[in-house]
Each structure stands twice: as structure tokens, then as C-alpha cells.
Amino acid sequence: HLFFIKHRHILHLFVRMTSSSSLPVAAVCQMTATPDKEANFSACTRLVEQAKEGGACMVFLPEGFDYIGSNREETLQLSESLDGDIVSRYSHLARKLDLWLSLGGFHERGHDWKTDRRIYNSHIIMNGQGELVSVYRKAHLFDVELTSKAVSLKESAFTVPGPRLVPPVQTPVGKVGLGVCYDLRFPELSSALRRHGAEILTYPSAFTVATGAAHWEVLLRARAIETQCFVLAAAQVGAHHAKRTSFGHALAVDPWGEVTGDCGGSDVGLTLVQIDLQRLRDVRRDMPVQQHRRDQDFYCSLD
């Protein structure tokens, strides 16, 4: 059944329940970040608390959960290190509520910050004790000029591409493979995570309205189908400032490619989904795609 609850006129909570209440629950969140870091933290705290009330053991926040700046200089000026105030506050929140957090798309000051003033787009996994378990730095940067859609973004102007993938992380909802937003377009990344044991793929995002309407759902479902993983994609929604608006539709997709949660395209909120790993095992057993995959040399034979 699908239930719809409206909370304080701004928070929409969608809950998809299966026949068993013993399955772990993940919360996939949708928010509208602005350059106001304090307001963003308050909004995320409300979402995390709502997720806890709904029975979630892990909460997924979108890219830019900390802030979305209105220009390059503001984006850089607001950035922090992993041992700064924002990560510390989320650590306290995770510990207080005993929740795992996926903090997808933190503006992390780069290792050479003092000399080059560039940042990483970092996806942090934090456990219920508030400890950093893993950090993945976004590898594929969004440099796109869609003149017909009036979309112009050059992430590489201020962001350093991450140097490597990180192994999937064992969490209370399953083994989570880490990506960020534009990484969604590169199936090599999801295939590598699947080979290393991922059961859940994550793509915390801030898709533009133009690219979201065209590609968001179909890409998420494709990644789920080809890897036979759950896909959880927290999202930004609405107007962040005068120059930028995001598509929304934070989604949860099961290993068969069925959309099991969708936060819609207008409101702040979250979707709660039960993660049934037996469902995943059944899909992989019935259609053993990984066993049918040829060795790497075969796929490079055209080269």
C-alpha cells in the first residue's frame, strides 16, 4: 500500500510497506538547499528526525545537502573540511538518533586548498555512532552546455575529480555502493561496484530540470536493472536561488527496475522503503546476469 501524509504543510512523507515489518527501512530524502547553511541544516534535521519516527535505520540526503551556492566564489567560501563544523553537527545528529547517514555531495575543501582553492564533491557515509565509515569523492564532473535548454554548468571550474572508487560499505540496510549525481551516466562505475558486492547503489543528486525530465528516472531504472541492485537516489528540488532550480523526484528503485518510492517534483519530503535483500537474491537467481558476463578482454576486443 502507498500512504500519503502531509506534515506542517511542507513535508511530504511517502511510505511503501511490504508484507513483512522486520525488513530494514531506508529513508530517501528530498530538500531545497540554499546558500543559507543554518537553514539547510535545520531542514535536514527535520527530515532525519521524521525518518527516525518512520522506522528508518539509514537516511540518504542529496548532493548539496550542506548548501548550494549562488556563484563560484560563494560556493568556495562556504566550503569546509571533513573535521569542520557541518560534519561535526551531523555526527552528533547520527549519534543522538542512532541512525546511519548517507551525506551525498558535501563541499569538502581539497587537499591543496591553501594553494589552489578547489574542492571535492564528497559523499560521506556515517554510522550510528557518528563515525565516518567511508568517503567517496565524485569522479565525473558535470561540465555541460545545453544551449537549447539554457543549461550551463561547469563543475570542474572549482571542483577536483575524485581519484578512485571506494569499496561498497556494509550498512544496516545492505551493502551500499557510492556515487554522486553525474556518476549515474557512467555504467562502468555501477558495474564495478556490483562486482565488488554492492546490493544498493546510491546517486544523491541535484539534477537540473531539463536533464531530470529527460533522463533521471530512465537512468536510475537502467542502473538497477543492469546491476540487479536497489538504487536509492536522494534529490534536490525547486529553486535554490535566482540562477538554479532542481528537478526533484527523489527515487527508490528495486532490483527488477520497479520504482518503489518517488517524492514528486515540487515538495520537500522523503520516501521510506523497506530493503528486501531476499527479493534481490531471487532476481539474481532467476536471471543470473553476472554469470553470463564475459571476461573484461572480450569487452575490449574492439579496441
Residues annotated catalytic, as ranges:
63, 138, 181
Q: Which residues, 6+ apart, have CB-to-CB distance to 122 below 8 Å?
A: 82, 105, 106, 107, 108, 135, 136, 137, 138, 162
| Distance between CA atoms of residues 267 and 42, nearest Å | 16
Residue 269 burial (10 A CB sphere; 0-12, 13-18, 19+): buried
| Distance between CA atoms of residues 34 and 169, nearest Å | 30
CB atoms within 10 A of CB 19: 7
| Distance between CA atoms of residues 192 and 94, nearest Å | 29
Beta bridge partners of 121: 107
Q: Which residues, 6+ apart, have CB-to-CB distance to 298 below 8 Å?
A: none
| Distance between CA atoms of residues 239 and 259, nearest Å | 25
| Distance between CA atoms of residues 104 and 18, nearest Å | 27
| Residue 40 Cα to chain centre, angstroms | 16
